[in-house]
Amino acid sequence: MPTAFRTALLSILLLAAVAAAATERTVLFREDFRTLDAWRSLAFPRIEARSRYSIEPLDGGTVLRAESRGSASGLIHRREFNVYEYPGLRWRWKVSNVYARGDMGGKEGDDYPIRIFVMFHSRTKTPSALNQVSSAVARWFHGENPPHSTLSYIWANREDVPRLFSSPFTERAKMMVLERGSRLAGTWREESVDVLRDYRRAFGVDPPATATLGIMNDSDNTGEASVSNVDFIEVYRDAL
């Protein structure tokens, strides 16, 4: 093999290896929903009916089944992570239907067949008086200390909705629409987001470093029903 050709071939292989390395992910953790051992329940004392979460078989594997019937509750992952070190979030989800009476602008319609949310936790030891009052109210409503802020990725019920908006309950919770309407209901959709970039866009500031993941299917406001699935979810960073 001529020397020049061999050199050119080696250069091409080296560039290919570099390109492949640049696209590699460093995964902090991945949930494939073989069990729910890594998750704890999030319940709301003022809402009696709770959504149901279970593991079900699918195509030789397992997925999370999230079923809501005029109910609300969620799952919180037990592991915290640093969003500056691992800002990547990727998952695969599916909904059976969207909620016809859903209305993201009002409290009466603030329901979604599936949401993947990230809760950010402040380590400040001396919260402001305003935040102390907010925390007391949230503990009374939710039954636990509230996060500093929350970023939710949702499947909205209509096509004509903005990509980003605030929760009707609090400015400390922002909603980002990834899927819209019922056209793709019943099909799997894979999502990949940069949590750090999205938080800065939503809140206009940097987030607290510590975060946890949550999943919820809620229909307590609309009184409707749906079944959603999550195939996997992972927290990662791209190779530098």
Predicted pLDDT of residue 237: 96
**42-74, pLDDT tens digit by residue?**
988 878 899 999 999 998 999 999 999 999 999
pLDDT category of residue 221 using cuts at 50, 70 and 90? confident
Predicted pLDDT of residue 150: 94
**What is the Cα–Cα distance from 164 to 138, expressed in whole angstroms?**
23
Predicted pLDDT of residue 17: 44
- Res 121 pLDDT > 70: yes
Residue ranges of alpha helices (H) inside the chain are 3-22, 129-142, 195-203
39 in Cβ contact with 77 (< 8 Å): yes
Asked if the structure places residue 8 within a domain, the reply is no
Would residue 218 be called left, alpha or beta, if left means φ above 0 and alpha means ψ between -120 and 50 degrees? beta
Asked if the structure places residue 13 within a domain, the reply is no
Say how many domains are in the chain: 1
Give CB contacts under 8 A, 24+ apart, made by 172-176: 172/134, 172/146, 172/147, 172/148, 173/149, 174/149, 174/150, 174/202, 174/203, 175/104, 175/115, 176/151, 176/152, 176/202
**122-133, pLDDT tens digit by residue?**
876 544 433 443
Report yes or no on whether pTM surpasses 0.75: yes
Predicted pLDDT of residue 46: 79
Asked if the structure places residue 147 within a domain, the reply is yes
219 in Cβ contact with 69 (< 8 Å): yes
Asked if the structure places residue 6 within a domain, the reply is no
**156-207, pLDDT tens digit by residue?**
988 888 899 888 778 899 999 999 999 999 999 999 999 999 999 999 999 9
How many other C-beta atoms are found inside a 10 Å radius of the C-beta of residue 224?
Answer: 19
- Res 236 pLDDT > 70: yes
How many other C-beta atoms are found inside a 10 Å radius of the C-beta of residue 223?
Answer: 13
Predicted pLDDT of residue 4: 53
- 14 or 214: which carries more pLDDT confidence? 214
Predicted pLDDT of residue 158: 84
| Segments forming the whole domain that contains residue 98 | 26-238
pLDDT category of residue 212 using cuts at 50, 70 and 90? very high
**60-117, pLDDT tens digit by residue?**
999 999 999 999 999 999 999 999 999 999 999 999 999 988 766 656 657 899 999 9
Q: For position 165, which CATH number holds?
A: 2.60.120.200
Mean pLDDT of the chain: 83
Predicted pLDDT of residue 128: 45
Q: Which residues pair with 57 in a beta bridge?
A: 62
**What is the Cα–Cα distance from 160 to 171, expressed in whole angstroms?**
22
Predicted pLDDT of residue 168: 73
113 in Cβ contact with 98 (< 8 Å): yes
User: CB under 8 Å to 22, separation ≥6 — which residues?
Assistant: 238, 239
